[in-house]
Chain A
Amino acid sequence: MTPKARALAIWVPILLILLTLPLYASGYYISLLITILMWVILSVSWTIFSGYTGYISLAVAAFFGIGAYMTVILWPALPFFIIIILGGLASMFFALLIGSPCLRIRGPYFIILTLGLSELVKHIFLIYEVRVRGTVGTLLLGAPSSETFYYSLIVIAVMVAATAYFVKNSKFGLALFSIKGNEEAAEAMGVDTTRYKLLTFGISALFMGFTGAIMALRWTYIDPSVIFNPLITFQVTIMAILGGVEDFRGPIIGAAVLTLISEAFGIRYPYHYMALLGITLILLIKFMPTGLLGAIGKLRAVRKLT
């Protein structure tokens, strides 16, 4: 089988099972999958930008939260799917706005800058709630059925995975990986690195915004410290690095594995779970920087040689 046929043989059945799941699975599994899909979309969109270009962005919560706040502001005045689209666009707009100055900065400066931006956005929304709305926190009523959430997340998950796949296997992706390899050299070869970075930053924020808009209604109670929680950023980063950030499969595996572990004991023992996550990150960076997929790839290469 060609690699392409093998990939289809894996992903098409998975997709078919996911699409038909609400027909026979119980509500618990649908809820679990909604959570997994949310983390999958966030970590795949993180990978499209940070994994491919090597610019580590810690602004996930900002983009996720801006999408969520579109729901807070527009629900129930507008239909759900229009809000989702607007949520994504608002995040993308914000990414493009801050991207053009920020993306000229490299290395640790960029990482800290994105972390600071995320906190900045949180405080702006806190002030907005106190000053404009008079209260902190919003209860969103009239949420649609679980199936609606489930299918909208599947559509977006497929979109983001396809985007990650096509970006990687195109000239565009080549340009991004050249930025990761050696940005000066890429520029010298005539790659307009700033434009590529900006576009990718925007695409990545678009999907995070979609997810935020959906999850806001799912979570029903929204306030800035919940939705802009840096823990969201932490978990997305760790999921992507755990799986491997070279293509879309890594973050999917990382997100699924960590969400299942979190479901199994993270809810009863949240602090143990998070402490374990911290240790996992340290060990990953030290001993398995290419993630699970990279480690599997290495094992295969070794087996072929012997």
Chain B
Amino acid sequence: MELRDISTILILGLTIGCIYAVIAVGLNLLYGTMRMLNVAHGDLIMLGAYAAYWLFTIYKISPLISAIFAALGGAVIGLITYRLLFASSIRITKSLESLEGSSLLIFFGLLILLENVALLWWGADFRGYAYLTSAVTILGTPVPLNRLSAALIAVAVCLAFYIFLQRTLFGKAVRAVIQDKDATQLVGINTGKIYIFCFGVAFAMAALAGALVSMFYSITPFIGLPYTLMAFVVIILGGLGNILGSLVGGLLLGLVITAVVAYTTPGFAFIVQYLIFILVILFMPQGILGRRTR
């Protein structure tokens, strides 16, 4: 293996890893605070990608700007989903753990619904567009500008959210809910407010990521589920409920997948991804950072 290959894998792996990270942070936020595994997370990515695609092909709006609209739209969908499907059952239940199974099935229904609504409206064709395709050379590797800008935005969003969690009072309350929901309520924090906020942020991050990946990956109504499964691998790598872990896990998985694709075929990348997933679940259920978050 030459040095140049290593730098190519490093750069491509890290750029895609940043996108994985922002997807996984959103998914992990819902699990960390509410013990909900959102299997429809990837379908928000799909919606965000279509939003950016249509805004670009019809109105020539830069996907970097439509990413903001996508995030706002995602947040609204998140708030509606929470209000309609979860607010009442969360108010009634004594322990969020008892909702784990049923909330997963509700998200499952949402996944089927969103995927087929997208098929009805937009059909099953592969769609894509060219934007910022010129490349800059980093360490001898040409990197397309669209990938680079997407990665920078993704990692900036992740870090901003992490700093928000660490530095602000509201962020502290979110972390408190992740650590112990009952104790948080005991000290008088309105957990309902935190839940609705987390739904908004998680859905917004997914839709934003969708707008970003639409610049260099093709779009179909089916792109959601593979992203969701990838994000599950990342949050399990980084530890469920551990936001910083998701960032690290995303970068790591991006590197591994890029390396596997470089030396074998894309088909093997899926297999390696699921093998990592299964092995981590079985042998390192607390994630690679190994910190208990509950």
**Could you list which residues of chain A lie within 8 angstroms of chain B, going by C-beta atoms?**
54, 56, 101-102, 105, 107-109, 111-113, 115-117, 119-120, 123-124, 126-127, 130, 230, 234, 237, 241, 271-272, 274-275, 277-282, 285-286, 289
Which of B1-9, B142-150, B210-218, B270-278 is found at the contact surface with chain A?
B270-278
Shortest C-beta distance, B273 to chain A (Å), equals: 9
A111-B37, A113-B278, A286-B85 given; A274·B267 CB < 8 A: no
Q: Decide: B105 and A285 in contact? CB cutoff 8 A.
A: yes
Which of B50-58, B66-74, B113-121, B184-192 is found at the contact surface with chain A?
B113-121
A281-B105, A282-B113 given; A108·B100 CB < 8 A: yes
In the bound complex, residues from chain B placing their C-beta under 8 Å from that of A107 are 97, 100-101
Q: Which residue of B lies closest to A289 (CB)?
A: B102
The listed residue with most B CB atoms (<10 A of its CB), out of A117, A119, A272, A277, is A119
Q: Decide: A113 and B85 in contact? CB cutoff 8 A.
A: no
Q: Decide: B281 and A113 in contact? CB cutoff 8 A.
A: yes
Q: Decide: A108 and B37 in contact? CB cutoff 8 A.
A: yes
A295 to B120, CA, bound (A): 33
- Give the B interface residue count (CB, 8 A): 41
In the bound complex, residues from chain A placing their C-beta under 8 Å from that of B195 are none
Q: Secondary structure of the B side of the interface? A: helix
Q: Which residue of B lies closest to A55 (CB)?
A: B101
Q: Decide: A275 and B101 in contact? CB cutoff 8 A.
A: no
Q: Decide: A279 and B109 in contact? CB cutoff 8 A.
A: yes
In the bound complex, residues from chain A placing their C-beta under 8 Å from that of B101 are 54, 56, 107-108, 111
Other than the known A108-B100, A127-B267, A275-B112, what 16 A-B pairs have Cβ atoms closer than 8 Å?
A: A56-B105, A116-B232, A116-B274, A116-B278, A117-B278, A120-B271, A126-B267, A130-B267, A234-B112, A271-B120, A272-B116, A275-B117, A277-B109, A278-B110, A278-B113, A280-B109
Interface 1/0 per residue, B248-266 and A, CB below 8 Å? 0000000000000000010
A112 to B225, CA, bound (A): 12
A25 to B114, CA, bound (A): 39
> Which of chain B's residues 146-165 have a Cβ closer than 8 Å to chain A?
none
